[in-house]
Amino acid sequence: MTPPKHPQPLRHLVLVLGDQLDRKSAAFDDFDPALDLLWMCEAAEESTHVWSSQQRIVIFLAAMRHFAAALREEGLPLQYEALSAEGGAASLQAALALALQQHRPQAMVLVQPGDWRVQQALRAAVAEAGVALHEREDRHFLCSSAQFGSHARGRKQLRMEFFYREMRRRHHVLMEAGEQGKKDSATPSGGEWNYDADNRGAFGAKGPGFVPATPRFAPDAITQEVIALVQTRFASHPGSVNRFGWPVTRAQALRVLHSFISERLEHFGRWQDAMWPGEPWLYHAHIGSALNLKLLDPREVIQAAETAYRERGAPLAAVEGFIRQVLGWREYVRGIYWLKMPGYLELNALNAQQPLPAWYWTGRTDMHCLQDAINQTLEHGYAHHIQRLMVTGLYALLLGVEPRQVHGWYLSVYVDAVEWVELPNVLGMSQFADGGVMASKPYAATGKYIERMGGHCRTCRYRPAERVGERACPFTTLYWDFLSRHQAVLAKNPRMALQVKNLARVAPAELQAIGKRASAIRRGEVGAQA
Ligand code: FAD
Ligand code: SF4
């Protein structure tokens, strides 16, 4: 790569991280090419601190290199530290320390990183160099950490629904003006805040039928170079990149967004929770990675969905359901992350100690739903929300896997995985390791839930309704075992009362048989592919 022209003496060294690829970010606010230098770095540690999948490494590096190329085309001074088959930066902290030593800037500018570990490492490098640090708010988000802190203050319990309503009012999204057009008496469009009850459809025996395809992008020269690098340097990492097609530029990300808004949004609400074998994409938006890399702005995403409702008559339940994910859940989990870190990472409310089964990394399980979810994850770096929550997440919860291991897996395998969003979803929502900060009860269910939401059970060797015996579905056995192991804690949760009451109806001999089979599952005697 051409050596950058370094302004001398340097006023600001301006860091752009791999998940901050937004030309409008605060990093660029007062950027002066005559005085400042941009700095980007591919550090090996970012792909190895968890065993990152090849898909995830490629998307980050390819998006970074495309963003860097656009900055150079604009003529902005940029120092880009690239990884090579053997060389390159070991860690961000070490590389930054070297850059600070080399340039001796008056100040270092950066936008708040998306993960606590990186923030601490960068702060340490800057402090060590004795350079002033200007850490700026990440304007990508609609709710700052301080605003979320105010929302949380004084509340005994945090619940997404109340936060979401506050966000709808504050940003006037899907709201109708009240009396004489007054914003403060505005009401939610359609009269209800939430149409979740309409968002739980299942496909039935015939499956989804026609699903409009999401644009995929053949790797260009830059991405091909990254793919070759990853296949050499990270050859032992999970998954494959043979069919890599994710958006790695803003223009590509916009195409994915527009295809979703015009072709799939209207079906999103109804089929949001549905699954089907061999159908990885369904009616979801597939924009998580583009949003988290900051190639898309959540405001434009929300606005595009609201416009589809107001101008094209897209169904309100679908539009509200989608906006709730982006304006509600996405902002809420970020708020929880920064409110609770670093302690959040250590939480293990249910004292789960089981190791993660090895087949999570290969898909070699005989449980059809898990096999399908894991195989598509390894092939594409993607699974939709219900697969993450109610298949891979549910199994780890019921088995009692140590939450940090579950976290390590999710952070490794998804193209949209960045810790601020992955951790609360995994530790809080799916593993209940935070004891109820994120979710009011554990998402515990039997195999019958998976049977209802998709077609996997029909071709599985197990039977979702059976809880004991050779053919018993491991989810179902483990569900009753989970209730039994945690009944003292769960009985105190009013939302679990019915489930715990049902446990009392199971005969002691059957409960013993459930416990025995659950132990066999835990020992790995059931579930792994022969
Ligand atoms: P869609 O279903 O089309 O939803 C649209 C957008 O809404 C998503 O792109 C995302 O930005 C946002 N969204 C939806 N649900 C959530 C949520 N619960 N939290 C935050 N944003 C949400 N999302 C990530 O971005 N990164 C992760 O690493 C991640 N890990 C998860 C782990 C578990 C165990 C669970 C249960 C959920 C996780 N999610 C994560 C949330 C959600 O599953 C993904 O955002 C979604 O599947 C991405 O695919 P999509 O773009 O097709 O989403
Ligand atoms: Fe999954 Fe159980 Fe259904 Fe098999 S029977 S697909 S393991 S839920």
Classify residue 528 as exposed, middle or buried by CB count within 10 Å of its CB (0-12, 13-18, 19+): middle
505 pLDDT higher than 50: yes
User: Strands 37-41 and 175-176, how do they pair?
Assistant: unpaired
> Which of 370, 371, 399, 456 gets mutated to test ligand 2 (max ligand atoms within 8 A of its CB)?
456
Residue-averaged pLDDT of the chain: 95
114 pLDDT higher than 70: yes
155 pLDDT higher than 70: yes
Q: Supply the pLDDT for residue 150.
A: 95
Task: Indicate whether 224 belongs to any domain.
Answer: no
Ligand 1 midpoint to CA 514 (Å): 34
Lowest-confidence pick of 192-206, 269-283, 415-429: 192-206
Q: Supply the pLDDT for residue 74.
A: 97
Sign (positive/negative) of CA torsion 313, 315, 318, 322? positive
Task: Indicate whether 230 belongs to any domain.
Answer: no
Classify residue 236 as exposed, middle or buried by CB count within 10 Å of its CB (0-12, 13-18, 19+): exposed
263 phi, psi to nearest 5 deg: -120, -25
79 phi, psi to nearest 5 deg: -105, 120
Within 8 A by CB and 6+ apart from 94, the residues are 125
Q: Does the C-beta of 115 come closer than 6 Å to ligand 1?
A: no
List the CATH number of the domain containing 60: 3.40.50.620
Atom of ligand 1 nearest to the CA of 334: 20
**What span, in angstroms and rounded, lies between the C-alpha atoms of 168 and 193?**
9
Q: Which residues make beta-bridge pairs with 132?
A: 107
Helices (H), 341-469: 368-380, 385-387, 393-399, 403-413, 419-423, 447-453
Q: What is the pLDDT of residues 278-329, one digit of tens each?
A: 999 999 999 999 999 999 999 999 999 999 999 999 999 999 999 999 999 9
Task: Indicate whether 530 belongs to any domain.
Answer: no
> Whose Cα sits closest to atom 3 in ligand 2?
457
Ligand 1 midpoint to CA 94 (Å): 32
463 phi, psi to nearest 5 deg: -115, 115
Q: Supply the pLDDT for residue 97.
A: 98
Question: With bands split at pLDDT 50, 70 and 90, how would you rate the model's confidence at 374?
Answer: very high
**Same-domain status, 379 and 490:** yes
3 state SS of 152 = helix
3 state SS of 267 = helix
**Same-domain status, 494 and 511:** yes
Count how many residues are written for the chain.
Answer: 530
> Whose Cα sits closest to atom 7 in ligand 2?
367
CB 390 within 8 A of CB 450: yes
**Same-domain status, 370 and 483:** yes
> Percent of the chain at pLDDT above 70?
98
Which whole number is the average pLDDT over 213-223?
Answer: 97
Nearest Cα to Cα of residue 194 among 152, 163, 150, 149: 163
Q: Supply the pLDDT for residue 181.
A: 61
Which whole number is the average pLDDT over 380-394?
Answer: 98
Task: Indicate whether 240 belongs to any domain.
Answer: no
Ligand 1 midpoint to CA 284 (Å): 10
Torsion of CA 440, 443, 445, 447, to 10 degrees: 160
Q: Supply the pLDDT for residue 156.
A: 86
Q: Which residues of 31-65 are buried (b: 16+ CB within 10 A; e: fewer)?
A: beeebbbbbbbbbbbbbebbbbbbbbbbbbbbbbb
Total-model pTM: 0.97
**Same-domain status, 459 and 377:** yes
Task: Indicate whether 400 belongs to any domain.
Answer: yes
Q: Supply the pLDDT for residue 4.
A: 52
Q: Supply the pLDDT for residue 177.
A: 87
**Same-domain status, 329 and 386:** no
189: containing domain: 145-211+264-340
Ligand nearest to the CA of 377: 1
**What span, in angstroms and rounded, lies between the C-alpha atoms of 115 and 50?**
13
**Same-domain status, 149 and 127:** no
394 pLDDT higher than 70: yes
Q: Supply the pLDDT for residue 185.
A: 80
Lowest-confidence pick of 182-191, 325-334, 390-399: 182-191
Ligand 1 midpoint to CA 64 (Å): 22
466 pLDDT higher than 60: yes
List the CATH number of the domain containing 324: 1.25.40.80
Which whole number is the average pLDDT over 447-468?
Answer: 96
Count of domains forming the chain: 3
Question: With bands split at pLDDT 50, 70 and 90, how would you rate the model's confidence at 204?
Answer: confident
Q: Supply the pLDDT for residue 2.
A: 47
Nearest Cα to Cα of residue 151 among 324, 326, 334, 377: 334
CB 269 within 8 A of CB 198: yes
**Same-domain status, 320 and 196:** yes
Atom of ligand 2 nearest to the CA of 448: 8
List the CATH number of the domain containing 475: 1.10.579.10
Classify residue 390 as exposed, middle or buried by CB count within 10 Å of its CB (0-12, 13-18, 19+): buried
**Same-domain status, 193 and 271:** yes
Q: Does the C-beta of 414 come closer than 6 Å to ligand 1?
A: yes
Question: With bands split at pLDDT 50, 70 and 90, how would you rate the model's confidence at 197?
Answer: confident
Atom of ligand 1 nearest to the CA of 292: 25
Q: What is the pLDDT of residues 235-259, one digit of tens each?
A: 999 999 999 999 999 999 999 999 9
Question: With bands split at pLDDT 50, 70 and 90, how would you rate the model's confidence at 1?
Answer: very low
